[in-house]
Amino acid sequence: MTMDLWTCEREQWNSGVSPVCGVDEAGAGPLAGPVYAAAVILPREADIPGLNDSKKLTEKKREALFEVITARAEAYSVAFVTAEEIDGMDILNARMLAMQRAIDGLSAMPALCLIDGNRDHGSAVAIAAPHLCIVGGDGKSASIAAASILAKVSRDRYVSTELEAQYPQYQFAKHKGYGTKLHYAMLDQYGPCPAHRRSFLKKWEARRG
């Protein structure tokens, strides 16, 4: 299964493009916390058993793969855009900014970035590095799959530890900032905190009247 994920990279290597980097983001949908992104350059044809789109993996498997990927990657970088920054632009621009920050943080500059999805710019922010957008890339490219895992695990760890410790009343470790029934119940009880994306709470505020 893992080797099938190298098709996108192989196409680039065969045409002389190297190194190739995978880029993905996590946390676009939650009501609170940052949006994270990761950029990863893997060794060619690296055999990483179980590597797959982070959404298809259990939390335990993602955590295990996180350690393998960070140990074996030729270069990797994780970046984020805060809730306050998201409110200052919008989530599309914030996603692009997070991905560009992750690319900028790499210790080795890639010849080409494989970006998950079909968007490479918002109204104010665009991916500046040479890149190729791949729809469903986290299931087609080993590098993007690796980036999806680093972004997802990094964000979940931050929300479950830092935000949980700062604002224990919201029980962030349980819902990771997503709009679950529990999260809305805590919002009803305590109102928003500085970690909340106010631009994501319009419907909740309207319902509150």
> Token pair for residue 101?
């920050």
- The greatest distance separating any two alpha carbons of the chain, rounded to the nearest whole angstrom, comes to 59
CATH architecture of the region 3-208: 2-Layer Sandwich (3.30)
The ranges assigned to domains in the chain are: 3-208
Give the H/E segment covering residue 81: strand 75-81
Cα gap 109→122, rounded to integer Å: 23
Check whether 178 has a pLDDT greater than 70.
Answer: yes
Per-residue confidence band for 53, with pLDDT thresholds at 50, 70 and 90: confident
pLDDT tens, position by position, 126-136? 999 999 999 99
Q: Give SS3 for 113.
A: strand
Q: Using CA of residue 106, residue 108, residue 109, residue 113, what is the dihedral sign? A: negative
Checking if the pLDDT of 56 tops 80, the result is: yes
- Residue 4, pLDDT score: 81
Mean pLDDT across 16-40 = 98
Q: What integer pLDDT is reported at residue 3 of this predicted model?
A: 46
Q: What's the pTM? A: 0.96
pLDDT bin (cut points 50, 70, 90) of residue 2 is: very low
For residue 1, pLDDT over 50 is answered with no
